[in-house]
Amino acid sequence: MLKKLLQPKQKPLLGLDIGTRFVKAVLLNHSNGVFEITDAACEPILGEAFAEREVKDFDAISHCIKKVKHRLKLKNKEVSVAVSGTSVLTKKVYMLPNQTDAELEAQIELEADSLIPFPLEDVYIDFEKLGTQTDERDDVLLSVAHKNMIDSRITLLRELEFEPKIIDIEGFALGNALQHFRQSTSGQAIACFNIGATQLQLTVIDENQEMHSKELPFGTDHLIKDICLFHGLDQNTAIQQLKDQTLPETWRNDAYPHFLGNLQQSFNKVMQLYTGSSHKDAPKTLLLSGGGTLIEGLVSDLSTDMNKQFEVFNPFTLLSKNAPHIDRQSGPIYAIAVGLACRSTQSCHT
């Protein structure tokens, strides 16, 4: 007990999810092995700040993060952020067993041409041992991201007097949130579809807590564009009216069916990618998170049309009693930010 009291207190990390339309931030409290959400903020990014997940308008994102910082009255400077998209690669590779991190890194660099489809000098590489399968190999999770994508976020955050401690991958951040806030009671796999503005992400957690992540370039922007086309609205107005449920009633007949059909096809496609690469059956427990869950009737429509039972993943069920100002119903949009904030208690490569 005395030893625990004398240990330095672990600083909380701000989980900062920089999406293409919104910046979401979450602060957690960790006590006796349990997380509580103590504060959260979400602010819109004005304009088109990204091109294929690459930052193109630093000022718009910087202004948005400043508003988040002001709302949360932040004192801690350390943050955890994540990346995703075609410039990010994750894959399971097989390495010689019982190697040190330095030996693994040397082997990965030696076999880079066969493992990584990018020039080695253009990317950052990280890896994690998943376990020893046989005496002849270790399973290793290899993560690769273009340097431009990482460096742009680090520069942006440091200009705002933040210190980025962890750069994660969005799909794994979502899995991290599932591990802490929605563990399966039956030991079966859990699949969570995160419906963002420009991306659909699937994260699956197996019974042994191994994560699998897949993504497709499809999101609520497709619906917003159709609503703007049918009803002559600008993008910001359409987003706000969809959120407030004040759109013209005909949007359910003109824009929504096309989006719903394409979303179902995307669900099936990304699940096929998972089952094909993992050689495992599709999970029975299906969850939804992200901004798409706020579309009225979407969860029930998907459940009916696909003949599957979908549930909303809401990490705000473990909201601190000291945070009455946070809207509990908005929890699904913070799933990735929650997973990033959880990283404050986890070790990582340095």
For residue 7, the model assigns a pLDDT of 40
User: Could you give the CA distance from residue 107 to residue 110 in angstroms, rounded to a whole number?
Assistant: 5
Question: Residue 145 above 50 pLDDT?
Answer: yes
Which domains, from first to last, does the chain contain? 1-86+146-182+313-350 (3.30.420.40), 184-312 (3.30.420.40)
**Average pLDDT for residues 247-254, to the nearest whole number?**
94
Question: Residue 8 above 70 pLDDT?
Answer: no
Q: How far is CA 167 from the centre of its chain?
A: 12
**Average pLDDT for residues 104-118, to the nearest whole number?**
85
For residue 55, the model assigns a pLDDT of 86
User: Could you give the CA distance from residue 325 to residue 72 in angstroms, rounded to a whole number?
Assistant: 11
Question: Residue 308 above 80 pLDDT?
Answer: yes
Amino acid found at 313: F
108-112, 173-177, 237-241: segment of lowest average pLDDT: 108-112
For residue 209, the model assigns a pLDDT of 67
Q: Please, which pLDDT band fits residue 92 given cuts at 50, 70 and 90?
A: confident
Classify the phi-psi angles of 288: left when phi > 0, otherwise alpha if psi is within -120 to 50, otherwise beta. Answer: beta
Angle at which helices 256-278 and 298-306 cross, to 10°: 60
Tokens read off for 331: 């929890």
**Short-list 339, 319, 333, CA closest to 205:** 339
For residue 344, the model assigns a pLDDT of 76
For residue 185, the model assigns a pLDDT of 61
Residue with tokens 């718009």: 60
Tokens read off for 224: 């917003």
Interstrand relation of 285-289 and 190-195 (parallel, antiparallel or unpaired) = parallel
For residue 314, the model assigns a pLDDT of 94
For residue 5, the model assigns a pLDDT of 37
Q: Rounded to two decimals, what is the model's pTM?
A: 0.91
Longest Cα separation, the chain = 66
10 Å Cβ neighbour count for 284?
Answer: 13
Q: Are 286 and 309 in contact (CB under 8 A)?
A: yes
